[in-house]
């Protein structure tokens, strides 16, 4: 049996607003009870309630999946984080996309007087054909776009070809980040019942 729709809405209340003096004003305070709840360090000052979290997932078939995670900070009256994911597969073809918005909590920088961006607004697109165990050719590509700075942050192209007992995979990846600007080439060779050798790891595969 498949669960078609699931939706969770929750908020935490805190009787001790400064967590026994653990909260330092103007700094991001990372505590287990808050990090496990939202994943965002929203404690920059004493507060009675956490942001409201919403976790919505829709899976209308075995080939489709959509998720929307939303965090709304009632104290500051704004969305602190939103992530939308969509994946769809038709036989050997698949497509996916995501949008991530994050509003960093206000923080007073003591050691670094130059503040970084307080908002992140990014998109990701994935297109592909095949899967790791498919005989013959498989290929996929993805890229990430930063709407704040209006440029493509990264792009990846992967391809592989499998015979009956051997497979080869290759990847080209391009990064264009503020502290990282480089090209990467990776390759792997897979032998049936033996293993995989090379620089392209399984967890980095797009398909």
> How many CB atoms within 10 Å of residue 79?
14
Tens of pLDDT, residue by residue over 111-121, are: 555 555 678 89
In eight-state DSSP terms, residue 36 is H
Determine the Cα–Cα distance for residues 14 and 24; give it in Å rounded to an integer: 16
Q: In what order do the strands lie in the sheet with 64-73?
A: 5-10, 52-58, 64-73, 78-90, 93-103, 119-129, 136-146, 151-162, 166-176, 181-191, 195-198
Q: SS3 of 10, please? A: strand
In the predicted structure, residue 109 carries a pLDDT above the cut 60: no
CA distance 44 to 117: 17
How far is Cα of residue 155 from the mean position of the Cα atoms in its chain? 15
Q: How confident is the model at residue 69 (pLDDT cuts 50, 70, 90)?
A: very high
Both tokens of 67, joined, read 């998720």
Instruction: Kindly report, residue by residue over 158-205, the tens digit of the pLDDT.
Output: 999 999 889 999 999 998 876 678 899 999 999 988 888 999 988 888
- Residue 38: helix, strand or coil by DSSP? helix
- The structure tokens listed for 172 are 């080209």
Euclidean distance between CA atoms 102 and 124, whole angstroms: 15
Count the neighbouring beta carbons within 10 Å of the beta carbon of residue 130: 20
């Amino acid at each position: 049996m498949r669960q078609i729709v699931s939706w969770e809405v929750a908020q935490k209340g805190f009787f001790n607003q400064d967590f026994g003096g653990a909260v330092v004003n103007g700094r991001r305070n990372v505590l287990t009870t808050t990090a496990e709840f939202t994943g965002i360090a929203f404690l920059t000052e004493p507060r009675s309630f956490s942001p409201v979290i919403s976790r919505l997932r829709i899976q209308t078939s075995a080939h489709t999946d959509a998720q929307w995670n939303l965090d709304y900070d009632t104290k500051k009256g704004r969305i602190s984080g939103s992530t939308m994911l969509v994946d769809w597969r038709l036989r050997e073809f698949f497509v996916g996309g995501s949008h991530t918005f994050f509003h960093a909590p206000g923080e007073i920088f003591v050691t670094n007087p130059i503040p970084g961006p307080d908002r992140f607004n990014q998109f990701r697109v994935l297109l592909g054909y095949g899967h790791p165990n498919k005989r013959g050719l498989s290929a996929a590509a993805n890229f990430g776009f930063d709407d704040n700075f209006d440029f493509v942050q990264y792009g990846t192209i992967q391809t592989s070809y499998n015979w009956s007992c051997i497979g080869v995979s290759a990847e080209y990846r391009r990064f264009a980040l503020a502290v990282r600007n480089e090209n990467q080439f990776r390759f792997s060779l897979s032998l049936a019942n033996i293993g995989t050798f090379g620089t392209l790891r399984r967890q980095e595969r797009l398909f």
